[in-house]
Structure 1
Amino acid sequence: MSNFSTGPERDVREAIIAACLEMNRVGINQGTSGNISVRWNDGILITPTSMPYKEMKPEDIVWMGFDGSVAGNRTPSSEWRFHLDIMRTKSDVGAIVHAHPYACTTLSIMGKGIPPLHYMIAITGGHDVRCAPYATFGTDELSRNALAALSGRAACLLGHHGMIATGRTLDRAMWMAVEIETLAKQYLACLPFGEPPLLSVEEIENVISRMNGYGHAG
C-alpha cells in the first residue's frame, strides 16, 4: 500500500470522509448505510464496511484494485462490487456516491424511477432516472442491475434499496446525489394528485444540449 501520510492520496481519503459526513448532514443518508468511492490509480479508494463516519481516519479508507486486490487495514464496503464494476465500465466516472435517501428509497420500494417532470432530470444525461430491479446487497446480480440502469445515465435508483450517483469528481457525484433526491421529493409530492405532466424526450434533449454547452450535463 502506498505511503499516504501526506500528499494527494491523503487529501482524497480525507475528502471521502468529509463527503460521508456531509451525506448525513444534508439528509441524503443515515447511519453508515451509504458508501463512497473515488477512482485512484488502477483501482478505487472506498469506504470501509460498517464503520461510523465520525470515527473514520484516512488510513481506514480501503484501496481496491480493478483486479480485485485489496490494500488497507479494513474490509471494504459490502457494495464494493458495483463500485468496481461501474468504474471499470464507465471510464468517465471518477467518483460514486451510494446512499439511502428518503424520497429516492421510497420511490424504489414502489419500483418507480423518476420521470421527466422537471428539466433538471437532464443532469443525468438522459430523460429519466431508472430504477434497477431488486437484488440482494453486495451481489453480482445487484451490480449487473445497477450497470444496466446506469447505461447512458449518471444516476439510478436501486429497487427496495436506495440510489447511486456518479460524477467526474467527488464534488460532482455529491451534487448529483442531492439533485436526484430533490427530483425524487418533487415526484413524490406530485403523486397524491396523480401522475404529473411530463416533459417530452425532445424537450429534455434540448436541455441536455444547452447544459453541455455550459458543462452541466452528465
Structure 2
Amino acid sequence: MADKPSSLRSRVIAAARDLAATGLSPQMSGNVSARHGDTILITPSGIPYTELSPDDISEIAMDGEVLAGPHAPSSEWQMHAAIYEAFPEAGGIVHAHSGFATVLAVMKREIPPFHYMVAVAGGRNIRVADYATFGTAELAQNAVAALQGRRASLLAHHGQIAFGPTVEAALHLAHEVETLATQYFHALQLGEPDLLSDEEMALNVEKFRTYGRRP
C-alpha cells in the first residue's frame, strides 16, 4: 500500500533533519525529496530543517508546478525531477554538501574502485557530474548523465547526490558516499591506492543487488 502524503512528508523531514544532525550537509544546504505517484514531495527553499512540519513540504508536478505547500520548493527541484523522470526505480533522492565528497567534487576527482564498497552505488566508480550553476536545467541533465548505471554521483564544485527506492535508502547511500570519499581522501595522503579490477567490481555490483534481502 502506498504511503499517505502526510506519512511521506514526515519521512522527508526525518531524512532532512538527519542531514543537519549528522553534519552530512551543514546548516540548510542540501535537499531531500520523495516520489509520490506522479508528483514530488520536496523540502522547501530556505527553511531550517528543524522548523519543518509536514505541511511545509512542497508538492510539485514534474514540470515544477507547485501543487501544495506554503513555500517555494528547493532551488534544486529540476535536478530531482530529472532524476525521477530518468530513473523510474527512484523513490527518494538526497542531495548533500558533505565535506569529503565536496572536496573530491571540487577537484573533479571521481571515487575509483579503491574499495569494494564503491559498488554500493551501482558500478565500478562514483563519477563526477560536470559543473553547472545550481538550480538549473543544465545541472539536472549533467547529474542524470553521471548517474547512468549508478545510484550516486559527485557534482563538480558542489557536492553529491544519491537516490534509492525509498528516501531512507537514498539517505543511507549518501552517508556511504561520504564515508567512501573520506576513506579515499585519506588513502591519497599515502599515495595512489591500488584499484580493484573491473571483473571484481562487476562481481561486487551483482552481490549488492541482493545484499540485505531475506531469502
TM-score bucket (shorter structure): over 0.9
The one-letter amino acid of 1:153's match is R
Mapped partners of 1:213, 1:154: distance in 2: 15
Return the letter of the residue paired with 2:86. T
Once the two structures are TM-superposed, the CA of residue 215 in structure 1 deviates from its matched residue by 5.4
Aligned length: 210
The residue aligned with 1:114 is: 111
Q: Report how far residue 73 of structure 1 moved.
A: 1.1
What does residue 126 of structure 1 align with? 123
Counterpart in 2 of 1:4? none
Shift of 1:152: 0.5
* 1:93-121 Cα deviation digits (max 9, x unpaired): 00000010000000001011100111011
Q: What is the rounded CA distance, in whole Å, between the counterparts of 2:78 and 2:40 in structure 1?
A: 11
Q: Distance in 1 between matches of 2:73 and 2:64?
A: 11
- Provide the TM-score with structure 2 as the length reference: 0.94
Q: Please give the alpha-carbon distance, in whole angstroms, between the structure 2 residues aligned to 1:48 and 1:137.
A: 15
Unaligned runs of 5+ residues in structure 2 are none
Over the residues paired in the alignment, what is the CA RMSD in angstroms? 1.2
- 2:188 corresponds to 1:191: yes
TM score, norm. by length of structure 1: 0.93
Kept in 1: contact 2:64–2:77 (CA 8 A) = no
Secondary structure at the residue paired with 1:38?
Answer: strand
Q: How does 1:137-152 map to 2 (within 5 A)?
A: 137-152=134-149
The unaligned stretches of length 5 or more in structure 1 are: 1-6
Equivalent residues in 2 for 1:1-218, closer than 5 Å: 8-71=4-67, 72-214=69-211
Further displaced range: 188-197 or 155-164: 188-197
1:179 is displaced (CA, Å) by: 0.4
Question: Aligned equivalents of 1:108 and 1:67: distance in 2?
Answer: 28
Tell me which amino acid in the other structure corresponds to 2:59: W
